[in-house]
Structure 1
Amino acid sequence: MVYQPVLLEKKDGVALVTLNRPDAGNASDAEMARELIALWPTLKADEDVRAVVLTGAGTRHFCTGADMKLASDKGDTGFDAWGDIPEDFFKPVICAVNGVVAGGGWHFMWQADFAIASESATFLEPHVSVGWVPLREMLGMALRVPQGPIRRMAYMGTAERMDAKRAYELGIVTEVVPADELVDHAMELATIIAKQAPLAVQATKETFQRAFDLRYAWRPLYDHMHEKRIQVDWESEDGKEGPRAFAEKRAPVWKGR
């Protein structure tokens, strides 16, 4: 069987998209990124698709971001663009969080319209623990939920892990359900949305996007970081050391440069 990094099923107006690298924590590599980048415009153009459910394969991980092993081997992630949900994708997206959300997995959390989680889901933000900066991940979430807990996660790195109950209390997810009911329940919610007037739903989402979405404002923030010569991710020595230490299962030796 040919390996597929992203799986797609369609039923009753809903597209079920599954990140399919369970042995790597459903982390993204170049192939998965390319598949996602191509998929979103396809779903946008498909008039039979009115809502999307996004989940991860297996029971342990939703998405753990960029593949740290690849970053350790290559000095970067091996791809230039993340498979973001585009800012002009106005069909509602529900995240069905089946396991760990970490790193770039947060992109989907703040770009989706809302998320539900299994009882075993957990959430962490590991960027600073590998010498990287969570530029959009935590900024995006800070526009959706209270800033204090998000800043705490951003600064604490892998030392901080949030369970599904706490994520519900903060509004990161709208409900918590048993693991074996997660995808079915997400599909039920998406099917209800798909039965509403499609143009009205999409216009409603566009209104939210333009009013509150970080992507309409984040580029100046990113440019400011570079203007101040704040090196991010693998551009810095620490950004290369972090993934190496992660892959070698040792404590990183930070140099502050």
Structure 2
Amino acid sequence: MSSEADRVDTAFETILLERDPADRVATITLNRPERLNAFDRTMCEEMVRAWQLVKADDSVNAVVLRAAGDRAFNAGLDITKPYGQPDSVWHHEDPGEALSPKWQKMWKPVVCAVQGMCTAGGFYFVNEADVVICSSEATFFDSHVSTGLVSALEPIGLRRRIGLGETLRIALMGNDERVCAETALRIGLVSEVVAPEQLWPRAHRLAAAIAAKPAAATQGTVKAIWESLDRPYRAALDQGLIYTRLGNPLGKAELAAHADERRARPEPWIR
């Protein structure tokens, strides 16, 4: 088995990328705890590269997205430095496109583990994850309107997770109300709350359980469900049917190949 150093990609400044073929899980860690893991242009560019590396790595079937430090998962855009938008407002970029696995057409399942604060642009990560869990001390809020900014992009993604009413409450309350872990669970923002020390191990166990399934089945499932959100109901069903026709034979073939591998392994000698 490779060493820990061998599994960590050191070519990044603002994130860590670890890949271990043993459990077929890649782990991306936001690594700016001194800035509450806020993203800047460097992190956005590195996230694009990380998603593409994970997408192309056939040894990876699922991803854990987490953040370093105890205070925050992500505080949104780092406002202490310019992001570097083009002069023309018509050419301005949405940082969420870089942070999103779905914009990068990366359909491997993503388990997001949230601790501490998640605010403003931090919702970009939560909105585009497939499974979201949090620690018991996590809090969620959207600071935009409290600073005089229109809250638009992140709530649009959030509405697809928790519905219109809860999204509007979060967006309009700004800094005056923080969604605690229990409320996040109740409204469907997260699917599980765990003790802080259990957050990373639990996220890894979930991702490993998903990664053990045939990749053709899990990636096809992610692609079909997410793409359905942008289609009318009947059109989504028609598209999903195509994906079952394409993916089911591949997934069954993967299962059969794994069964053949297990049968080919010599049984341990039992005395």
Q: 1:85 aligns with which of 72, 84, 100?
A: 100
Query: Offset at 1:68?
Result: 1.9
Q: Which residue of 1 aligns with 2:65?
A: 54
CA–CA distance in structure 2, aligned partners of residues 42 and 110 of structure 1 = 21
CA–CA distance in structure 1, aligned partners of residues 17 and 29 of structure 2 = 7
SS in 1 for 2:27: strand
2:132 corresponds to 1:115? yes
Structure 1 residues 200, 2: closer, same or farther in 2, change over 3 A? Answer: closer
Structure 1 residues 16, 213: closer, same or farther in 2, change over 3 A? Answer: farther
Superposition pairs of residues 32-51 of structure 1, within 5 angstroms: 32-51=43-62
2:161 corresponds to 1:144? yes
- State the TM-score, normalized to the length of structure 2: 0.73
Query: Offset at 1:130?
Result: 2.0
Could you list the runs of 4 or more consecutive aligned residues of structure 1 that deviate by over 6 angstroms after TM superposition? none
Q: 2:212 aligns with which of 181, 195, 219?
A: 195
Deviations 1:30-61 (A, max 9, x none): 21111111111111000011101101111111
Task: Name stretches of at least 5 consecutive residues in structure 2 with no aligned partner.
Answer: 1-9, 86-92, 232-271
Structure 1 residues 213, 93: closer, same or farther in 2, change over 3 A? Answer: farther
Structure 1 residues 35, 2: closer, same or farther in 2, change over 3 A? Answer: closer
Larger Rg, first or second structure (1 or 2): 2
Query: Offset at 1:81?
Result: 5.1
Q: 2:29 aligns with which of 14, 18, 36?
A: 18
2:18 corresponds to 1:9? yes
Query: Offset at 1:78?
Result: 3.2
Q: Which residue of 2 aligns with 1:183?
A: 200
2:74 corresponds to 1:63? yes
SS in 2 for 1:144: helix
Query: Is the contact made by 1:33 and 1:81 (CA closer than 8 Å) also made in structure 2?
Result: no
CA–CA distance in structure 2, aligned partners of residues 207 and 68 of structure 1 = 36
CA–CA distance in structure 1, aligned partners of residues 224 and 198 of structure 2 = 31
SS in 1 for 2:80: helix
Across the aligned residues of Structure 1 and Structure 2, the Cα RMSD in angstroms comes to 1.8
CA–CA distance in structure 2, aligned partners of residues 131 and 125 of structure 1 = 12
Superposition pairs of residues 212-223 of structure 1, within 5 angstroms: 212=229
Query: Offset at 1:145?
Result: 1.1
Query: Offset at 1:2?
Result: 9.1
Query: Offset at 1:106?
Result: 0.2
Q: Which residue of 1 aligns with 2:112?
A: 95
Query: Is the contact made by 2:17 and 2:50 (CA closer than 8 Å) also made in structure 1?
Result: no
Identical aligned residues as a percent: 39
CA–CA distance in structure 2, aligned partners of residues 3 and 106 of structure 1 = 22
Structure 1 residues 85, 22: closer, same or farther in 2, change over 3 A? Answer: same
